């Protein structure tokens, strides 16, 4: 059976040892590297992971509209947003699992926000086929619903969010756009219940 060491206990022991001993700091640094290599330590296996989620980059702000075409045209006319094809048209079991909305179906578009270049964030405007059963705070309720971050790995990022006091909304799923690109994504919430999407894009298979 492989013995698991907790990083915090090892670090505190070393700190007590090297206080006021410059030479010991060098020795300790070498020992730490050797120790982690022998034990197969991985920071992701502990609760000590720190720093930003790997690859995190702001992706989009989501707006659930009653009429996505009319509302997206308004943002294009007034603010100079530009449509990013293809238009979205999603439905089916994967969308239901991802949104936690029964019989979910939606259409919409991404608009590139002005002033941030061709790779800047977008405004995602969607309309669900029905919002009759939309719950308070639900992903399908009209209004600004979530912000989104692109991440290197959705499953890893989701675990990190849950470890840091967030909550899960739906499951991790993968959808395919009309031009064949695949997006793996999920919804989570921050510790105060605000919705956040985690997503990772892949080129067409």
- Residue ranges of domains in the chain, CATH in brackets: 7-45 (no CATH), 57-202 (3.10.180.10)
The SS3 of residue 157 is helix
Q: Do 197 and 100 contact (CB within 8 A), yes or no? A: no
Per-residue model confidence as pLDDT tens digits over 11-67:
444 344 334 444 443 333 333 343 334 444 444 444 446 899 999 999 999 999 989
pLDDT score of 136: 63
The residue among 116, 3, 15, 9 whose CA lies nearest residue 57 is 116
pLDDT score of 21: 44
Low-confidence ranges of the chain (pLDDT < 70): 1-49, 131-137
Helix 22-39 × helix 7-18 angle, to 10°: 160
Q: Is the full-model pTM beyond 0.75?
A: no
Q: How far is the C-alpha of 56 from the C-alpha of 111, rounded, in Å?
A: 20
pLDDT score of 139: 83
Q: How far is the C-alpha of 196 from the C-alpha of 98, rounded, in Å?
A: 13
Q: Which residues contact 49 (CB under 8 A, 6 or more apart)?
A: 43, 160, 163
Q: Which residues contact 72 (CB under 8 A, 6 or more apart)?
A: 65, 81, 83, 108, 109, 111, 125
CA angle 63, 58, 161 (to 5 degrees): 90
């Amino acid at each position: 059976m492989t013995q698991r060491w907790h990083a915090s206990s090892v670090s505190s022991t070393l700190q007590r040892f090297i206080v006021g001993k410059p030479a010991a700091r060098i020795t300790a640094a070498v020992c730490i590297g050797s120790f982690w290599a022998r034990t197969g330590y991985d920071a992701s296996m502990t609760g000590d992971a720190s720093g930003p989620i790997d690859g995190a980059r702001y992706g989009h702000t989501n707006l659930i509209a009653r009429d996505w075409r009319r509302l997206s045209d308004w943002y294009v006319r007034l603010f100079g947003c530009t449509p990013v094809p293809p238009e979205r048209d999603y439905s089916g079991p994967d969308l239901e699992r991802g949104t936690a909305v029964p019989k979910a179906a939606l259409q919409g578009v991404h608009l590139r926000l002005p002033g941030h270049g061709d790779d800047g964030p977008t405004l995602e405007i969607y309309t669900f086929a029905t919002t009759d059963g939309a719950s308070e705070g639900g992903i399908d309720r009209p209004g600004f619903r979530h912000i989104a971050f692109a991440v290197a790995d959705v499953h890893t990022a989701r675990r990190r969010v849950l470890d840091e006091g967030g909550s899960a909304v739906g499951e991790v799923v993968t959808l395919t756009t009309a031009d064949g690109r695949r997006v793996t994504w999920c919804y989570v919430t921050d510790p105060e219940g605000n919705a956040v999407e985690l997503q990772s894009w892949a080129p067409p298979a």
